Structure 1
Amino acid sequence: MAIAYRQRIDDDTEFALWKIEESAGDLYAQLQLNDDEKAVVENLGTNKRHLHWLSTRVLLRAMLSTDEYIDCKVDAHGKPYLVNHPYYISFSHSFDYAAVMISRRHQVGIDIELVKEKVERIAHKFMRKQELDFISQKCKIEELYVCWCVKEAVYKCYGQKEVSFLDNILLEPFSFEGHGIINAKLRKDDIAIDYAVGYQQYQDYMIGYVIQDRYEA
């Protein structure tokens, strides 16, 4: 499968989705991996995590349009970064899709989730009462996934551990229209960052995405 969807945010930033239809072997054959990366792949076994890891790297290679080896590592907080290419990156995956966001100038964050009704059972774990109060009954499940994806995108963009979706990432009310922008606030100790986070419904999935220059500290 080629890139299933691609959206440019600005001249330096875009994200794309890859529908995972290949076997692990087919994905593996499209990559250049060093010994450490090969060991990571082997340790993942043959489950869906294996396909997700491979497909995000294949998608990244397609977006960068390069035949060179892509040295992709993760920092102490688990945030991926590129050693030999001038891009900030963020990865996500859910069931049959992988998502990658890249930018030459800005830190980025992206999340994709398959929309399922079970989110309602855990909403209280990542939503404050004030946030739950602005969720509509008509589109409850979709709006809850918007909130999760937006908070996850902010978390990935900020890139530090020990940030609570419930206590530290706060959302302002919004009207769900299938796509749009939500104002989010990161508040933790002396940190105060405001973000404008995009969301978009794609088939049965929800996507949240953000770039760092859309905030005021």
Structure 2
Amino acid sequence: MAIAYRQRIDDDTEFALWKIEETADDLYMQLQLNDDEKVVVENLGTNKRHLHWLSTRVLLRVMLSTNEYIDCKVDSHGKPYLVNHPYHISFSHSFDYAAVMISRKHHVGIDIEQVKEKVERIAHKFMRKQELDFISEKYKIEELYVCWCIKEAVYKCYGQKEVSFLDNILLEPFNFEGHGVVKAHLRKESIAIDYEVGYQQYQDYMIGYVIEENA
């Protein structure tokens, strides 16, 4: 399967989705992996996480249009970074899709989630009362997924642990239209960062994506 969806944010930034229709072996054959990465793949077993790991790396290779080895590591906070290519990156995956966002100039964050009713049961765990108050009845489930994806994208873009979706990331009200921009504010101790986060509904999935302008 080739790229299913691709969106350019600016001259230096884009994200893409890959629909996972290949077997693990098919994906594995498209990659160059060092010994440590091969161990990671082996430890993932044969479940969906295995396919997700492989498909994000295949998508990254396609987006970078390179046949070279891509040295992709993870820092102490769990954020992926590239050693031998001048891009900031972010990965996400959900069920049958993998998502990758890259930028030469900006820190980035992306999240993709399949839209399901169950999000309503856990909304109070990641949203404040004032945020729940602006959720509409008509698009309740979709808007809750927008909020989750946006907070996850901000979390990944910021790239450090110990950030609470409930306590540290606050969203401003928005009107759901299938795609748009939501203002988000990261507040933690002396840290104050404001973001404008994009969201996009794609089939029965929701995507949140963000760049940090001052990176």
Q: TM-score, normalised by structure 1?
A: 0.98
1:61-97 deviation digits (Å, cap 9, x = unpaired): 0000000000000000000000000000000000000
**Number of the residue aligned with 1:118:** 118
Q: Deviations over 1:107-134 (max 9, x none)?
A: 0000000000000000000000000000
* Structure 2 equivalent of residue 191 of structure 1: 191
| Inter-partner Cα distance in structure 1 for 2:200 and 2:3 | 17
Identity of aligned residues (%): 88
Asked if 2 retains the 8 angstrom alpha-carbon contact of 1:195 and 1:214, the reply is no
Question: CA 1:178 to 1:199, structure 2 compared with 1: closer, same or farther past 3 Å?
Answer: same
Task: Give, in whole Å, the separation in 2 of the partners of 1:57 and 1:199.
Answer: 23
Separation in structure 1 between the aligned mates of residue 38 and residue 120 of structure 2, nearest angstrom: 38
Q: What CA deviation, in whole Å up to 9, does each residue of 1:149-190 have, x standing for no partner? A: 000000000000000000000000000000000000000000
Q: CA deviation at 1:20?
A: 0.1
Preserved CA contact (<8 Å) 2:131 2:172 = yes
Q: Where does 1:83-102 land on structure 2 (aligned, <5 Å)? A: 83-102=83-102
1:183–1:196 CA contact under 8 A, matched in 2? yes
Q: Matched residues in 2 for 1:82 and 1:194: separation?
A: 25
CA RMSD of aligned residues (A): 0.8
3-state DSSP of counterpart to 1:167: helix
- Residue pair 2:106, 2:214 contacting (<8 A) in 1 also: no
Match of 2:82 in 1: 82
Per-residue displacement from partner, 1:138-158 (whole Å, max 9, x unpaired)?
000000000000000000000
Deviation at 1:214, TM superposition (A): 7.0
For 1:149 and 1:17, locate their aligned partners in 2 and report how far apart those are by CA, in whole Å: 15
The alignment covers a number of residue pairs equal to: 215
Report the equivalent of 1:127.
127
Runs of 4+ with deviation above 6 angstroms: none
Kindly state the Cα deviation for residue 102 of structure 1 after the two structures are TM-superposed. Answer: 0.1
Taking the aligned partners of 2:132 and 2:92, their CA distance within structure 1 comes to 25
- The two structures have a TM-score, normalised by structure 2, of 0.99
Matches of 2:212 and 2:29 in 1, distance apart?
34
Q: Which residue of 1 aligns with 2:48?
A: 48
In structure 1, what is the equivalent of residue 205 of structure 2?
205
What is the CA–CA distance in structure 2 between the aligned matches of 1:167 and 1:12, rounded to whole Å? 32
Stretches of structure 2 lacking an aligned partner (at least 5 in a row)? none
1:175 alignment partner, SS class: coil
